[in-house]
C-alpha cells in the first residue's frame, strides 16, 4: 500500500489496523475497568489555544520543539521533566509556560501536573541500548511502558483530559520480522512502546498515536547514529503519512512535533494511530489546512 504524501493528496488509502489490533499474547495489557468500547468521546473535542496542555518529556528533542510550538500558538503549557532547572535552561520563561518537576515512573508525582489539563502529549523515551541514561529507572520497560501507563492512569483519574497524544516509534509491529527492528528491539524498547500503545488505546481516553522513523535534526538529545552524525532532513520537509505500520524513513523532529500539534487541532484525529516519515518537498510546514488535507487523505 502506498502511503499518502502531500504530492498524492486524495489518493485512496485503505484504513490500517488500530493500535492494539493483531496483538501478540502476553505482550499487551489492558487498563483495569476499561475497554475500547468505553471510550469517553463526550470528553473529546478540538483542543484550542487557551487550553492547558501538558508535555511530558519536555526537555527531550521532540518535547522542546513541541513545547515551543504550543506556546507560540497560545496554549497554556506545562513542561514536565525530571529537572526543573534543566527545563528552565532549555525552554526559558513565558507567561503561558509552567515548568513541572515530576517523574513518570513515580505516579504520585503526576497528580498535580495533569490536574486541569485539556490534553497531554507524551514524548518521553530513553535509549534502545544500554547506556548511562538507563540509570535511575530509565530503561525502556520502566520509562516507556510503566511511565506511560502511569501517565495514562493519572489522566483517567483526573477525568479532564480530552486528548492523549503518544509519540511511539516505527517498528512496533515488525520487531519479530528481522532487521532492522529486531536489532532495535534487542533490549525490548519496541515491546515497551507496543505495550504502552495498547494500554492507551484500551484506556477509554481519546488518543492519537504517532509513529515516527529514526529522528533527525536538532536538538540532538538522544544517543544514536543520527545524533553522532548530526543527521538533518535538509530539503525533506514533506511528509509521508500512513495508517499502516509500514514506513521506514527518517523523520524530522520538527515534523513529529507539528504532527502532535495537528493531532490536537483536528477533532477527526481522535483515536487514530499513524506513521510519519520526512521526504523531499516543501511540506505542510505549520499550516492547519495543509495538514488537514494530508491527514484526511490518509484516512480515506
Question: Please, what are the averages of pLDDT over each run of 10 residues along the chain (300 residues)?
Answer: 51 35 35 43 72 97 96 98 96 96 96 96 89 82 96 94 97 95 95 98 97 84 47 78 96 96 96 97 95 96
Q: Output the pLDDT for position 264.
A: 97
Task: Tell me the C-alpha distance between 103 and 120, whole Å.
Answer: 15
281: which DSSP letter? B
SS3 label, residue 8: coil
Task: Tell me the C-alpha distance between 259 and 242, whole Å.
Answer: 13
Q: Output the pLDDT for position 232.
A: 62
Task: Tell me the C-alpha distance between 263 and 14, whole Å.
Answer: 20
Global pTM value: 0.84
Task: Tell me the C-alpha distance between 27 and 192, whole Å.
Answer: 9
Cell of 34: 476499561
User: Percent helix, strand, coil in the chain (nearest 5)?
Assistant: 35, 20, 45
Residue 85 has φ and ψ, to the nearest 5°, of -65, -40
Instruction: Report how many helices (DSSP H) and strands (DSSP E) the chain contains, helices first.
Output: 10, 11
Domain boundaries 47-299, CATH class: alpha beta
Q: Output the pLDDT for position 108.
A: 97
Q: Output the pLDDT for position 221.
A: 57
Amino acid at each position: 500500500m502506498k502511503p499518502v504524501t502531500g504530492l498524492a493528496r486524495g489518493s485512496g488509502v485503505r484504513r490500517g489496523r488500530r493500535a492494539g489490533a493483531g496483538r501478540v499474547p502476553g505482550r499487551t495489557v489492558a487498563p483495569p475497568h476499561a475497554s475500547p468500547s468505553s471510550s469517553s468521546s463526550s470528553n473529546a473535542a478540538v483542543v484550542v489555544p487557551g487550553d492547558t496542555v501538558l508535555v511530558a518529556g519536555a526537555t527531550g528533542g521532540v518535547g522542546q520543539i513541541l513545547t515551543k510550538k504550543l506556546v507560540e500558538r497560545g496554549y497554556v503549557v506545562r513542561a514536565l521533566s525530571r529537572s526543573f532547572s534543566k527545563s528552565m535552561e532549555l525552554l526559558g520563561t513565558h507567561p503561558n509556560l509552567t515548568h513541572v518537576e515530576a517523574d513518570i515512573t513515580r505516579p504520585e508525582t503526576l497528580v498535580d501536573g495533569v490536574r486541569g489539563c485539556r490534553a497531554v502529549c507524551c514524548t518521553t523515551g530513553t535509549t534502545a541500548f544500554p547506556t548511562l541514561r538507563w540509570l535511575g529507572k530509565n530503561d525502556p520497560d520502566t520509562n516507556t511502558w510503566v511511565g506511560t501507563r502511569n501517565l495514562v492512569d493519572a489522566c483517567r483519574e483526573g477525568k479532564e483530559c480530552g486528548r492523549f497524544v503518544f509519540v511511539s516509534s516505527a517498528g512496533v509491529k515488525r520487531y519479530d520480522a528481522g532487521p532492522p527492528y529486531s536489532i532495535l528491539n534487542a533490549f525490548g524498547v519496541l515491546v515497551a512502546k507496543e505495550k504502552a500503545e495498547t494500554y492507551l488505546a484500551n484506556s477509554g481516553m481519546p488518543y492519537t498515536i504517532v509513529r515516527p522513523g529514526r529522528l533527525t535534526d536538532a536538538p540532538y538529545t538522544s544517543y544514536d547514529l543520527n545524533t553522532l552524525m548530526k543527521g538533518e532532513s535538509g530539503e525533506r520537509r514533506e511528509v509521508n503519512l500512513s495508517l499502516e505500520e509500514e514506513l521506514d524513513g527518517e523523520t524530522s523532529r520538527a515534523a513529529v512535533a507539528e504532527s502532535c500539534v495537528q493531532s490536537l487541532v483536528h477533532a477527526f484525529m481522535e483515536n487514530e494511530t499513524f506513521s510519519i516519515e520526512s521526504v523531499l518537498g516543501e511540506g505542510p510546514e505549520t499550516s492547519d489546512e495543509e495538514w488537514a488535507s494530508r491527514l484526511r487523505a490518509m484516512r480515506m
